[in-house]
Amino acid sequence: MTTEEIVNKINAAGFQVEVNDEGPDPFIEVDRENLIATAKFLKNDPDLNFDLLMCLSGLDWPEYFQVVYHLISTEYKHTITVKVRCLKDDPIIPSVSDIWRTAEWHEREAYDLVGIRFDGNRDLRRILLPEDWEGHPLQKDYVPPTSWHKIPLTNLGAESTNEGN
Amino acid sequence: MKETKELNIPLGPVLEKWETLVESSGASGERMVLQMGPQHPATHGVLRLELETDGEIVTKIVPYIGYLHRCFEKVAENITWNQVVPYTDRMDYLASMNMSLGYALTVEKLMGIEVNERVQALRVITCEINRIASHCVFLATYGLDIGAWTPLLYLFQEREHIIDLLEELSGSRLLFNYIRPGGLAHDVPDGWLKKVREFCDFMDPKIPELNELLSYNKIFIERTANVGVMTPEVALTYGITGPNLRACGVDYDLRRDIPYSGYEKYDFEPQLGKGEQGQAGDSWDRYIVRVREMQESLKIIRQAIDSLPDGDISEKIPKNFNKMPVGDAYMTTEAPRGEVGFYIVSDGTKTPYRVKARSGAYCSVSVIPAIGTGLLIADVVAIVASVDIVLGEVDR
């Protein structure tokens, strides 16, 4: 199915989404209240059958956090990108880990590095960083600590960007 | 002199005392928590598995990762688009070519560049040859974990040939930094393709040799068949891709289904697990799929060399990345350890706004508790080896 057909199908089921195809990957944006219902539909509809969640990325934009889901159907080989956002003072997004189990670890990573909380994830702990680490490094205003448990750390953020190339 | 009461107590009462001690602590008596790793030869790097065991049976597995976290995504936000390439090499250091190919293709997708056919074909040749080297390490260490020493000695010999070839090509033996966004670092040296063809002829008879040595060895089959069976449903929901998914019988290979870099021109068969020695999706299937995949890779390499066109390998390399379009792109490629995807976001400046790497091995670690619980400790070793993880790719 082409992206247009997929989006028509989603809208025919009662969701109201618009496709944005300016970039190389067309995407749909959904409200976080509708995320779970949309995700369940994408997974369970026999004509769509998005059975594989390829990637779940958390992003820190100046005004809001965003989570991007890249889905593919191993049966029909069609793809779709779903984006959802939440405000920074309420960084909670419903978890899709009951729909695709792989989201559990990817959400843990997004929580660990970006600081987005996923409501419904059974095991929302830090995954790559130590459990007592402070802050979320992929936030743009993150200031790296100078030491951790008395171990001095090089200050990565203070080094200027290499101007080469 | 201090009296040592414990020494005088006969063995029976000591055990009784132990029993009451265990009971008062609330444990069932046999339950024990075992830390496997982070430094453990069978975890292929620095992975820690917390095993809760009841005698020899594993009742719970909790993986802990992050020991090799090198902040790839954070570092990538502070360097230019081109400088990210060497960092991608260090993700899966056993298949660096495939990693940098994934990143290069993503940047090209966002920029709207299409490279010429010679670059595409050379990328296919180098990636497939690297895939064989990577599978050689997998097969060797898998045998080693199960207790078969000898295959390692043979397979590392074959791998050495590939490493030598890639060293001649790129100047380094492990982290090549050869595939760049827009092209390649430089063209292949004179006579290099002839050596690759010679390697293919050298490698062909080695695969039946390996089958005799390890694949159909009775002990090896007993240790791996019917162990850690992954059903297609479990595999898909955990995001398992690549050879691990094909071992479950799911016919899904990105090189054929969503072709990139000219893979559609080559004739090859994705290898599926059929459950020849046990159930489909067991550890033996995950092993044999990779053995057969090496043969397919040889087929692709030969076809790519035969049809290699002329062209300038650096014509599309951007002189600078200042004109990066604003937007995002996701590109996924078939690496030896499953799908490797890069999600890049550009805000138009010369450094990336966000680079997110999706790795196949990350998902493979997450599935270990689902398929390993309820088995013997020794089987967990076989499973960890069979899903083929490289912790550099898991932790990034």
Q: At B377, which CATH number? A: 1.10.645.10
Question: Rounded mean pLDDT of chain A?
Answer: 84
Tens of pLDDT, residue by residue over A46-88, are 888 898 898 999 999 998 999 999 999 988 888 889 999 888 8
Instruction: Tell me if A46 is assigned to some domain.
Output: yes
Whether the predicted pLDDT of A162 surpasses 80: no
Residues of A in contact with B329 (CB under 8 A): 23-25
Residues of B in contact with A108 (CB under 8 A): none
What range defines the domain where residue B374 resides? Answer: 80-395
A 64-83 residues inside an 8 A Cβ radius of B: 68, 70, 72, 74, 77, 79, 81
What pLDDT is stored for residue B342 in this prediction? 93
Contact between B257 and A59 using a beta-carbon 8 Å cutoff: no
Whether the predicted pLDDT of B61 surpasses 80: yes
Contact between B252 and A59 using a beta-carbon 8 Å cutoff: no
Contact between A161 and B358 using a beta-carbon 8 Å cutoff: no
Distance from CA of B53 to the nearest CA of A (A): 21
Contact between B327 and A23 using a beta-carbon 8 Å cutoff: yes
CA pair distance B375, B136, nearest whole angstrom: 27
Closest chain A residue to the Cα of B259, Cα to Cα? A77
Return the number of other C-beta atoms located less than 10 Å from residue B319's C-beta.
8
What pLDDT is stored for residue B224 in this prediction? 87
What pLDDT is stored for residue A155 in this prediction? 57
Distance from CA of A9 to the nearest CA of B (A): 22
What pLDDT is stored for residue B214 in this prediction? 86
Residue pair B97/B140 in contact (Cβ under 8 Å)? The answer is no
Instruction: Tell me if B75 is assigned to some domain.
Output: no
Any B CB within 8 A of A6 CB: no
Size of the A and B interface in Cβ pairs below 8 Å: 109
DSSP strand pairing (A27-29 vs A19-20): antiparallel
Instruction: Tell me if B45 is assigned to some domain.
Output: no
Whether the predicted pLDDT of A11 surpasses 50: yes
Question: Rounded mean pLDDT of chain B?
Answer: 85
What pLDDT is stored for residue B275 in this prediction? 81
Closest chain B residue to the Cα of A79, Cα to Cα? B258
Closest chain A residue to the Cα of B338, Cα to Cα? A54
- Smallest Cβ–Cβ distance between B329 and the set A24, A53, A165 belongs to A24
Tens of pLDDT, residue by residue over A77-124, are 888 899 998 888 888 999 998 889 899 999 999 999 998 999 888 888
Among A138, A116, A106, CA closest to B363: A106
Contact between A165 and B112 using a beta-carbon 8 Å cutoff: no
Contact between A54 and B112 using a beta-carbon 8 Å cutoff: no
Residues of B in contact with A106 (CB under 8 A): 239
Instruction: Tell me if B30 is assigned to some domain.
Output: no
> How many independent structural domains does chain A possess?
1
Instruction: Tell me if B359 is assigned to some domain.
Output: yes
Tens of pLDDT, residue by residue over B70-89, are 888 888 888 888 889 999 99
- Smallest Cβ–Cβ distance between B237 and the set A23, A68, A101 belongs to A101
Among A45, A16, A35, A138, CA closest to A95: A35
Instruction: Tell me if A98 is assigned to some domain.
Output: yes
What range defines the domain where residue A66 resides? Answer: 3-143
Q: What's the average model confidence in pLDDT over B277-288?
A: 87
Instruction: Tell me if B15 is assigned to some domain.
Output: no
- The CATH number of residue A138's host domain is 3.30.460.80
DSSP letter for each residue of B365-382:
HHHHHHHHTTSBHHHHHH
- Which of A28, A105, A138, A142 to substitute to test the interface with B, most B CBs within 10 Å? A105
Q: What's the average model confidence in pLDDT over A149-158?
A: 68
- Which of A112-121, A132-141, B33-42, B274-283 shows the lowest mean pLDDT across its residues? B33-42
Contact between B345 and A59 using a beta-carbon 8 Å cutoff: yes
Instruction: Tell me if A53 is assigned to some domain.
Output: yes
> How many independent structural domains does chain B possess?
1
- Which of B248, B257, B358 to substitute to test the interface with A, most A CBs within 10 Å? B358
Instruction: Tell me if A148 is assigned to some domain.
Output: no
What pLDDT is stored for residue B30 in this prediction? 67
Tens of pLDDT, residue by residue over B43-55, are 677 888 888 888 7
Whether the predicted pLDDT of B6 surpasses 50: no
Q: With helix as H, strand as E and coil as C, how does B1-66 read?
A: CCCCHHHHCCHHHHHHHHHHHHHHCCCCCCEEEEEECCCCHHHCCCCEEEEEEECCEEEEEEEECC
CB under 8 Å to B274, separation ≥6 — which residues?
Answer: B249, B280, B285
- Which of A55-64, B12-21, B60-69, B262-271 shows the lowest mean pLDDT across its residues? B12-21
DSSP letter for each residue of B319-336:
S-STTPPSEEEEEEEEET
Instruction: Tell me if B263 is assigned to some domain.
Output: yes
A163: pLDDT confidence band, cut at 50, 70 and 90?
A: very low
Letter string b/e over residues A98-130, b meaning 16 or more CB atoms within 10 A of that residue's CB: bbbbbbbbbbbbbbbbbbbbbeebeebebbbbe
Residues of B in contact with A81 (CB under 8 A): 330
Instruction: Tell me if A77 is assigned to some domain.
Output: yes
Classify residue B188 by its DSSP letter: P
Tens of pLDDT, residue by residue over B195-229, are 999 999 999 898 888 888 888 888 888 888 888 88
Instruction: Tell me if B347 is assigned to some domain.
Output: yes
Closest chain A residue to the Cα of B234, Cα to Cα? A101
Residues of A in contact with B80 (CB under 8 A): 161-162, 164-165
Distance from CA of A55 to the nearest CA of B (A): 6
CA pair distance B158, B135, nearest whole angstrom: 11
Instruction: Tell me if B62 is assigned to some domain.
Output: no
Tens of pLDDT, residue by residue over B9-27, are 444 444 455 455 445 544 4
Q: What's the average model confidence in pLDDT over B256-268?
A: 89
What pLDDT is stored for residue B228 in this prediction? 85
Any B CB within 8 A of A62 CB: no
Whether the predicted pLDDT of B169 surpasses 70: yes
Contact between A165 and B321 using a beta-carbon 8 Å cutoff: yes
**pTM: predicted TM-score of the whole model, two decimal places:** 0.85
Contact between A55 and B354 using a beta-carbon 8 Å cutoff: no
CA pair distance B247, B334, nearest whole angstrom: 15
CA pair distance A119, A92, nearest whole angstrom: 6
Q: What's the average model confidence in pLDDT over A119-139?
A: 87
Distance from CA of B124 to the nearest CA of A (A): 22
Contact between B330 and A156 using a beta-carbon 8 Å cutoff: no
